[in-house]
Amino acid sequence: MVGSSERPPTPRQQAAAARYLARVDTRRRATLRALPLVDFSGLEPRGSRTTIAAFTYSNPALPAADREAEAKDFADRLARFGGLERADVTGSVPATEEQTQLTEQWLTWLELATVVLVITILALYFRAVGVPLLGLATVAIAYLIASRCLGWLGVNADISFPQEVNPVIVALLFGILTDYVVFFVSGYRNRLGEGTGSLDAATEVTADLLPVISTASLMIAGATLTLLVSGVRFLSAFGPGTAIAVLIGAAVALTFVPATIAIFGEALLWPGRRGSTAAPSAEGARGRVVGMAARHPVLVATFCFLLLLVAASGVRKLELGNPVIRGLPPSDTARRGYETAASAFGPGVTGPTALLLEEQEIGRERGALARFQTRLSEQEGVKAVLGPAEQLPLRRYGAFVAPSRDAARFLLVLESDPNGSEAISALSQLEARLPELLRTSSLGEAQAGFAGDTAIAHELKDQTNQAFLRIAPLAILVLLLLLWVLLRNRTAPIYLVGVSALVVAASLGLTVYVFGDLLGYGELVFFVPVAAAILLLALGSDYNVFLVSRIWREAEDRELRPAIRTAGSRAGRAITVAGLTLAASFAVLALVPILAFRELAFAMAVGLLLDTMIARTLLIPALISIFGRGEGEHERRAEQPEPSPS
């Protein structure tokens, strides 16, 4: 809790605040205790004494809402007694509650913004009224079924889904289902332009897209399900939620969309034209770009690799943290309290790290405990240490030494955000030196353990790093197997997944440069790189399936390089619109005023744009031109009859 005022409180107000703190701390039935920061070495307020901070301890048996209400009531009363202009409750617990509430509040706005986005993209691309309505109906049905299924699983199967998953599911469903509608209607419209009847056109496009969409959805679901083995509770719950939503969305796309096209037929395209609406010059321009990649594959591939590698260089500076307070908007009370405390005492005061020493009768070793406390305060990254050396009043007995005298506690106030990467690094160094510090303080037999925000953030970072090492190979293996099944080719899946992995690295590198360096956060939220990497890997392979399967089909009747150019110009426009739509759907996540969502929105949008503009337009066609169709191409060539002499 932090209270502040523009002018220092009068002695009378200070005395009133002190009496209130004393009453709170001595009430027998009180469920909240407070430890004011008064005269602790290293924690004197900077400048004029206009800020007071107090550590509050609530009964953990109380519900979270009751503990939060109690803390706010305590802050309001302290502000009134002490003549303070305001008092804010800050720390990781209230900040987490604020994040949950903000997510719920902004979910409706996120849905509305995405609806407007879908209507605009489909209306502009198809110049029709019925197609946007088809897209909205498809998303609405899938989202309704998915939300009911997830809710049922949460109640009946005791599976909890984090609140943060909902906005991601909204963006993912809107994005991929809009893409599937684009593929269906584009294929249907093109067949109409070639003179095929309406029902036959709907049948043919469904037959073409059924294996592709089925495989693509299985790629996304399979890749996200690998999060189950992460070992991180948040990520383990994140995976099944997105996988279930994607599979339901694919089922709706493969049933509702072709049925609607078959029923309404050309009426969906009114007032647009039967054939493709793309201008010949636009298709020709795209064909020339793809054709250039096919004619000069080594040069184009080298350029694309260098460009992506430069962007990926930011990964070298990747640091993970859990800036739950700094991730809130500046107007939030928890963030405001953090800024006030950081300005007056330093940011570490909002979440001190507890160090517990356990040994029989250790509480009687006052001299050794005092020496150890002094050595702790001298460590790098430590601003101040509160512990048994403090001469606290008798009523606070037990704050630092247990009544049994078998345990002693130290509160370490670090110099940086307790949930940030700097604090995690400082705690890691302190853990490494702890045995020596205990030994030189004559406490070498004591058992030591850390707790608090920084210790939790440290554990989350370690678990996330270990999770990525487990998840990434498994996700890549799943994608390779599914691509092998669909393409029946041993070479193409390797470079397709490799390109997707390079795009992931480039996206994360740019995210580090923007949020870590440019915006000054210094780290990314711990789950953002893993979630973005898995989604981008799956979605990148997803869209490559559409492009490569079209190139393979064209190559059945002509040479490979002309087939690349033809497929790139015919199917590439729809694939590009689909990629831009999905990127925009994830970009809308940035509307939620929470740092984690904005980092994820940036990483996903940038990654999908790189995949659309660089990988699928240039790099993949160049690699296909270099490697060909592998064994499939040789077999097909061998089966072709020799040309008759002219």
124 vs 120: CA distance, rounded Å = 6
pLDDT of residue 11: 64
What's this model's pTM, rounded to 2 decimal places?
0.87
Tokens 């619109």 belong to residue: 577
502 vs 511: CA distance, rounded Å = 14
Query: Which tokens in the block code for residue 353?
Result: 């790290």
Task: Tell me the C-alpha to C-alpha distance, in Å, between residue 154 and each of 188, 221, 238, 310, 599.
Answer: 39, 19, 13, 43, 27
pLDDT of residue 536: 94
Q: Decide if 358 contacts 407 (C-beta within 8 A).
A: yes
pLDDT of residue 639: 45
For 281-361, strand residue ranges (E) read 320-321, 353-358
Helices and strands (H, E) in the chain, number of each type: 20, 10
State the distance between the two ends of the chain, measured CA to CA, in whole angstroms: 92
- 386 SS3 class: strand
Q: Decide if 464 contacts 526 (C-beta within 8 A).
A: yes
415 vs 412: CA distance, rounded Å = 10
- 426 SS3 class: helix
In the 3-class helix/strand/coil scheme, how is 452-469 assigned residue by residue? CHHHHHHHHHHHHHHHHH
- 264 SS3 class: helix
In degrees, rounded to 5, the angle at the alpha carbon of residue 507 between the alpha carbons of residues 506 and 511 is 115
Cβ-proximal residues to 255 (8 Å cutoff; 6+ apart), any chain = none
388 vs 364: CA distance, rounded Å = 10
Residue segments in the chain with a per-residue pLDDT below the cut of 50: 28, 39, 276-282, 393-397, 632-646
Residue closest to 110 by CA, chosen among 182, 181, 175: 175
Cβ-proximal residues to 498 (8 Å cutoff; 6+ apart), any chain = none
Residue 640 CB coordination number (10 Å): 7
266 vs 463: CA distance, rounded Å = 54
DSSP type of residue 619 = I
Residue closest to 239 by CA, chosen among 247, 227, 221: 227
- 609 SS3 class: helix
- β-pair type (447-451, 353-358): antiparallel
DSSP type of residue 41 = T
Residue type, 585: S
- 494 SS3 class: helix
Residue type, 237: A
Q: What is the pLDDT of residues 489-501, one digit of tens each?
A: 888 899 999 999 9
Query: Which tokens in the block code for residue 522?
Result: 């210094």
- φ, ψ for residue 266, nearest 5 deg: -65, -15
pLDDT of residue 609: 95
Q: Decide if 480 contacts 621 (C-beta within 8 A).
A: no
604 vs 166: CA distance, rounded Å = 16
Q: Decide if 632 contacts 488 (C-beta within 8 A).
A: yes
Most distant CA atoms of the chain, gap in Å = 111
Tokens 């953030």 belong to residue: 457
Q: Decide if 350 contacts 338 (C-beta within 8 A).
A: yes
Q: What is the pLDDT of residues 135-163, one digit of tens each?
A: 999 999 999 999 899 888 877 876 767 77
pLDDT of residue 42: 61
Q: Decide if 474 contacts 226 (C-beta within 8 A).
A: yes
DSSP string covering 69-91, please?
Answer: HHHHHHHHHHHHHHT-SEEE--S
Dihedral (Cα; 627, 629, 633, 635), 10-degree rounding: 100
Residue 630 CB coordination number (10 Å): 14
Host H or E run for residue 447: strand 447-451
Residue closest to 400 by CA, chosen among 351, 431, 366: 366
Residue type, 39: D
Q: Decide if 597 contacts 99 (C-beta within 8 A).
A: no
- β-pair type (320-321, 524-525): parallel
Q: Decide if 242 contacts 172 (C-beta within 8 A).
A: yes
- 58 SS3 class: strand
